[in-house]
Chains A and B, each alone.
Chain A
Amino acid sequence: MKSSAFRKLFSLFSSLIFLFLFYSPAQGAESSAPAWFDKNRVNVFIVLALFFAFVIYFINRAQKGKSLFVRRIPGLDAIEEAVGRATEMGRPILYISGIEDMDNLQTVASMIILGNVAEMAAAYEVPLLVPVCQPFVVTVAEESVKQGYAKAGKPEAYNPNNVRFLTSEQFAYASGVNGIMLREKPAANFMFGSFYAESLLMAETGFSTGAIQVAGTANIHQLPFFVVACDYTLIGEELFAASAYLSKEPKLLGSLKGSDLAKLLIMIYLVLGVLFVTFGIDIFLRWVFVQ
């Protein structure tokens, strides 16, 4: 954490101080002009700055070749198992990236996992079907799949017709995916991303076709359906950890380790906050209050 990492951290903090000093704060209700800096959210700003500092530090460590341990995530091991099963059965793999657009972080994480799944599919020479719900996601999914095939050394095996736009309407999309499950009989279904009421419709249909199913979402209200209908489920943050675990990319591993350190600090802060609140002191509580 000398030289370049130090420079990065220094430039980050100096930029933050610059922003803090030079942009006037919001003047309250009487001001109608948009402000550059919202003083009510200084706490969000500090937490983010700390988080980014941790991430940069760990990315730097990973790039220097220092080993960063990440525990085994059972649901992710199942991905390769599912791809292997599809190869044995000679049937395609179905990848569903949720119904949200690219402005949802779960979709972003899903696209990274899609790249890894595409790489495995290319290596095993199994067709990979990607029905997509949002027009913009189609382009990103095409890029991810194409890169996955290129990484596996088989760019010519990429079939653009397998990344398909169905419709942006939630239940129409679900019925379209169900149709693919029933007619193309994929041996493995992957559902990673942001899902809503369509989650059970798709997971249940996939279960009825006998496909091995691995799902992951951070939408808490849909997790129960994946837990009951899928063979493996990535719960919440495991979805975001999946991309780092699968790719072993220094940047992603660094982000994962950075978020772990942030979690540790959050736990310590929470314990301290609870202790103080119990004794009637709300200093910790006030600091995390967001209007």
Chain B
Amino acid sequence: MVTDLNTAIWNTLAAFLTFCIFSFLYKDNPFYKIAEHIVVGVSAGYFAVILYWNGLVPKLWNPVVKQGKWYYLIPGLLGLIMWTRFSKKYAWISRFSISFYMGIATGVAVPLYMQNFVIRQLSSTMLPVHFKNSVGFFNLLIIVGVLCALIYFFFSKEHKGAMGSAARVGIWTLMVGFGAGFGLTVMGRVSLLIDRVIFLKNYFTSIFGHIL
């Protein structure tokens, strides 16, 4: 794995930081603090550069300066007035940008949510129910589960009587789904751990392989 001195130094640093993070499993300690501060600081600086090159330059500087699209200055101005937050007297001006952004974001998000989380789900749940084979029966289970889960999220009535029973079936359905999701994600996390362990194994083999 280690091909030259440069790679060896970086891999040593990566292995060291991996152990620093793993040391958190014991308790909070100075090594974990070092790794934590490095990763937070480096990522904040990295994202500032990313935002400059992926946001400011292609979305404001180039359109205005190179293409003459002056109207790009309007969002630029909205961005600029966010800096008024540093002044107690003029901080209120930044609310224009906040309200503009939140209005746009909500306006875009609501139809998307309606389309993807309501209408698409509705069409996927309209399944035929029959008892010719197991598919028809499982379809029935899905439909009952969806209806009961919807009843659980009904806030206008107390969950009592028949509605309470249906809501309970709804929460059981959700919990079964959560259990399956939990197992699946834990498997994914274990594979991440395996990847890190393989990295460490390769690192130690490449550094100390000739000694062992």
Question: What is the interface of chain A, defined by CB distance below 8 A to chain B?
Answer: 41, 43-44, 47-48, 51, 68-73, 101-105, 108, 136, 139-140, 142-143, 165-169, 171-173, 175-176, 178-179, 182-183, 197, 200, 220-221, 223-225, 227-228, 235-238, 241, 245, 256-257, 260, 263-264, 266-267, 269-271, 273-274, 277-278, 284-285, 288-290
- Most-contacted residue by chain B among A72, A167, A237 (CB, 10 A): A167
Pair A267/B106 contact, Cβ less than 8 Å: no
Pair A260/B109 contact, Cβ less than 8 Å: no
Pair A168/B47 contact, Cβ less than 8 Å: yes
Q: A176-B40, A179-B33, A289-B123 are in contact. Are A270 and B156 (CB under 8 A)?
A: no
One digit per residue, 1 when the CB lies within 8 angstroms of any chain A CB and 0 when it does not, for chain B 167-182 equals 0000000110111011
CB-nearest residue of chain B to A140: B98
Pair B126/A172 contact, Cβ less than 8 Å: no
Question: What is the interface of chain B, defined by CB distance below 8 A to chain A?
Answer: 21, 24, 28, 33, 35-36, 39-44, 46-47, 82, 85, 94-95, 98, 101-102, 104-106, 108-111, 113-115, 118-120, 122-123, 125-130, 143, 146-147, 150-151, 153-159, 174-175, 177-179, 181-182, 185, 189
- Of all A-B residue pairs in the complex, the 6 with the closest CB atoms, nearest first, are A169-B43, A103-B105, A224-B182, A172-B43, A224-B178, A273-B126
Which chain A residues lie closer than 8 Å to B46 at the CB level? 169
Which chain B residues lie closer than 8 Å to A260 at the CB level? 154-156
If over half of A's interface residues share one DSSP class (helix, strand or loop), that class is named, otherwise mixed; here it is helix
Which chain B residues lie closer than 8 Å to A179 at the CB level? 28, 33, 36
Q: Distance (Å) between the CB of B62 and the closest chain A CB?
A: 22
Pair B157/A71 contact, Cβ less than 8 Å: yes
Pair B98/A143 contact, Cβ less than 8 Å: yes
Pair A47/B147 contact, Cβ less than 8 Å: no
The distance in angstroms between the C-alpha atoms of A173 and B39, with both chains bound, is 9
Q: A51-B114, A183-B28, A236-B153 are in contact. Are A224 and B181 (CB under 8 A)?
A: yes
Q: A139-B98, A176-B40, A270-B143 are in contact. Are A225 and B182 (CB under 8 A)?
A: yes
Which chain B residues lie closer than 8 Å to A266 at the CB level? 118, 122, 150
The distance in angstroms between the C-alpha atoms of A168 and B85, with both chains bound, is 20
CB-nearest residue of chain B to A52: B110
The distance in angstroms between the C-alpha atoms of A27 and B194, with both chains bound, is 52
Pair A273/B153 contact, Cβ less than 8 Å: no
If over half of B's interface residues share one DSSP class (helix, strand or loop), that class is named, otherwise mixed; here it is helix
Which chain B residues lie closer than 8 Å to A68 at the CB level? 156
Pair B43/A167 contact, Cβ less than 8 Å: yes
Q: Distance (Å) between the CB of A83 and the closest chain B CB?
A: 23
CB < 8 Å: which of A71, A105, A270 contacts B159?
A: A71
Which chain A residues lie closer than 8 Å to B44 at the CB level? 165-169, 172
The distance in angstroms between the C-alpha atoms of A235 and B175, with both chains bound, is 11
Which chain A residues lie closer than 8 Å to B147 at the CB level? 267, 270-271
Q: A44-B114, A224-B179, A224-B181 are in contact. Are A277 and B82 (CB under 8 A)?
A: no
